[in-house]
Chains A and B, each alone.
Chain A
Amino acid sequence: MLAKRIIPCLDVNQGRVVKGVNFLNLVDAGDPVEAACRYDEMGADELVFLDITASAEKRDIIIDVVEKTAAKIFIPLTVGGGINKMEDIRNLLNAGADKVSINTAAVQNIDFVRKSAKKFGSQCIVVAIDVKLSGDHYEVFIHGGRTPTGIEAISWAKRVEKAGAGEILLTSMETDGTKNGYDIDITRQISESVNIPVIASGGAGELAHLYDALVDGKADAVLAASIFHYKELSIRQCKEYLLSKGVTIRL
């Protein structure tokens, strides 16, 4: 049976990990390559780099980080953040990324998803969707959650699937950072509406939250950042817990 995936996410700014990773014995706690290697050793099923570098001229730094990481760890690596050109995708894939995650650029031009899926294959095109409850429905936000789009989340998920996205990374803006658990409602609704894998993100604070997102929310994978960085929970601990609850997991 296909295993549910546990995916740690590292926020990277100008080649440095932000939100301080708190591993013991790291020579350089801000080095994303070292952090990535540590997650790999701990049993991460995949890894996500979210590049939050604002300045355009410093955006190439992530390429170097990806190259160095891909030479050392042998699990799938996804890179997201500010990707809006075919050239960005090509450069990241050539550097050793396996998938790229597209967010704002997908909303601004769905053709970008279509073209990149056709060019590079659906398997490497992840569409990240940031959502927030707005009245009786969930609305899609872009620009790192700053800009509402007026687009309803479920119909958007179906559209990106149709355009060729191979996976959806769904972040609930309301639960993100709260540690009160993932938004199970929208996770399940989207997971049931599309035929591609859905990664739940935003809100992980304890073991039960992961279980809820994977089982009740029907997510195929869970992404978490701070709970792993600050060593509140180890990946191993999460996996053993999920396994004991009957979830298929790779140990």
Chain B
Amino acid sequence: MITVVDYGMGNLRSVVKAFEHVGAEVEVVSTAKAVDKATALVVPGVGAFDDCMTTLGKANLDEAINRHIFHGKPYLGICLGHQILFEAHEESRKKIPGLGIFPGTVRRFPSDLKVPHMGWNQIKIYRKKCPLLRGVEDGEMFYFVHSYYTEPLDSRIVATRTDYGVNFTSMIWDGSLLYSVQFHPEKSQNAGLQILKNYTELYG
């Protein structure tokens, strides 16, 4: 079972449909209690960081996600679900912290670039053993839509990087069951579906 967390940020339909397409059984949950029961969690999300953290906080979902990760259960973050893992986010006017799983900051792309970084871009694989990258080639293209990128202090968790003026972290793997991606696998056609399929087959 793949458990997709719905906290009202962006639509989950494509994530759910993409998982179903690769054969997963999917449930959509929105309570901390349901997150606690999950085995393989997926946290998607698009939109503003502050809204995201505030909404998660109101439903105590932030704590539930933290517990899930703390217990070493499978986690896949997508886009905002990737960015919330860090300590600080430049977008946050109210200085709301992220979940702080990883030391590091989330920064805005420099102003001389077109922002959002929107469209298909390549990944360069740094962790070839990353189980979610099975069947995905180095240099494969994925679909991105984002204005902020993560800057982890610990380079060992960087599974892939992508170049858009800045050579930013496009995928994270902690060496265990914690994964997160800046791109949208649910919108990246076959390459993206492969990643969701890997996650489903390993943990679903």
> Chain A residues in contact with chain B, CB under 8 A?
1-5, 40, 45, 70-72, 74-76, 93-96, 98, 120-124, 166-167, 195-197, 220-221, 250
Closest 8 A/B residue pairs (Cβ): A250-B141, A250-B120, A3-B120, A121-B47, A123-B145, A96-B13, A2-B121, A71-B17
> Which among B121, B145, B187 is the interface contact of A75 at CB below 8 angstroms?
B187
Contact assessment for A94 and B11 in the assembled complex, using a CB-CB cutoff below 8 Å: yes
Question: CB-nearest residue of chain A relative to B165?
Answer: A2
Contact assessment for B192 and A74 in the assembled complex, using a CB-CB cutoff below 8 Å: yes
Min Cβ gap B160→A in Å is: 15
Contact assessment for A196 and B114 in the assembled complex, using a CB-CB cutoff below 8 Å: yes
A60 to B14, CA, bound (A): 20
B121 CB contacts on chain A under 8 angstroms = 1-3
A-contacting residues, B118-141, CB 8 Å: 118-122, 141
Contact assessment for B186 and A74 in the assembled complex, using a CB-CB cutoff below 8 Å: yes
Q: Count chain B residues whose beta carbon lies closer than 8 angstroms to a beta carbon of A.
A: 36
Contact assessment for B46 and A121 in the assembled complex, using a CB-CB cutoff below 8 Å: yes
Q: List 10 A-B contacts (CB under 8 A).
A: A1-B163, A74-B186, A75-B143, A96-B13, A96-B14, A96-B17, A123-B146, A197-B119, A220-B118, A221-B119
Contact assessment for B143 and A76 in the assembled complex, using a CB-CB cutoff below 8 Å: yes
Contact assessment for B14 and A195 in the assembled complex, using a CB-CB cutoff below 8 Å: no
Min Cβ gap B126→A in Å is: 18
- Chain B interface secondary structure, helix, strand, loop or mixed? mixed
Query: B115 on the interface (CB 8 Å rule)?
Result: yes
A94 CB contacts on chain B under 8 angstroms = 11, 13
Query: B111 on the interface (CB 8 Å rule)?
Result: yes
A197 CB contacts on chain B under 8 angstroms = 114, 116, 118-119
Contact assessment for A2 and B119 in the assembled complex, using a CB-CB cutoff below 8 Å: yes
Contact assessment for A70 and B47 in the assembled complex, using a CB-CB cutoff below 8 Å: no
> Chain B residues in contact with chain A, CB under 8 A?
10-11, 13-14, 17-18, 20-21, 46-48, 111, 113-122, 141, 143-147, 163-164, 186-189, 192-193
Contact assessment for B118 and A70 in the assembled complex, using a CB-CB cutoff below 8 Å: no
Contact assessment for B13 and A2 in the assembled complex, using a CB-CB cutoff below 8 Å: no
A195 to B165, CA, bound (A): 14
> Which among B10, B14, B48, B118 is the interface contact of A74 at CB below 8 angstroms?
B14
Question: CB-nearest residue of chain A relative to B145?
Answer: A123
Contact assessment for A2 and B17 in the assembled complex, using a CB-CB cutoff below 8 Å: no
Question: CB-nearest residue of chain A relative to B115?
Answer: A195
> Which among B18, B116, B146 is the interface contact of A196 at CB below 8 angstroms?
B116
A3 to B140, CA, bound (A): 12
Question: CB-nearest residue of chain A relative to B196?
Answer: A74
Min Cβ gap B117→A in Å is: 7
Q: Which of A71, A74, A166 gathers most chain B CB within 10 Å?
A: A74
A220 CB contacts on chain B under 8 angstroms = 114, 118-119
B120 CB contacts on chain A under 8 angstroms = 2-3, 5, 45, 250
Contact assessment for A195 and B118 in the assembled complex, using a CB-CB cutoff below 8 Å: no
> Which among A70, A122, A167 is the interface contact of B17 at CB below 8 angstroms?
A70
A120 CB contacts on chain B under 8 angstroms = 47
A166 CB contacts on chain B under 8 angstroms = 116, 118, 145
B143 CB contacts on chain A under 8 angstroms = 75-76
Min Cβ gap A238→B in Å is: 15
Contact assessment for B187 and A74 in the assembled complex, using a CB-CB cutoff below 8 Å: yes
Contact assessment for B193 and A195 in the assembled complex, using a CB-CB cutoff below 8 Å: no
> Which among A1, A3, A40 is the interface contact of B189 at CB below 8 angstroms?
A40
A122 CB contacts on chain B under 8 angstroms = 116, 147
> Which among A2, A72, A76, A195 is the interface contact of B111 at CB below 8 angstroms?
A195
A2 CB contacts on chain B under 8 angstroms = 117, 119-121, 144, 164
Contact assessment for B192 and A124 in the assembled complex, using a CB-CB cutoff below 8 Å: no
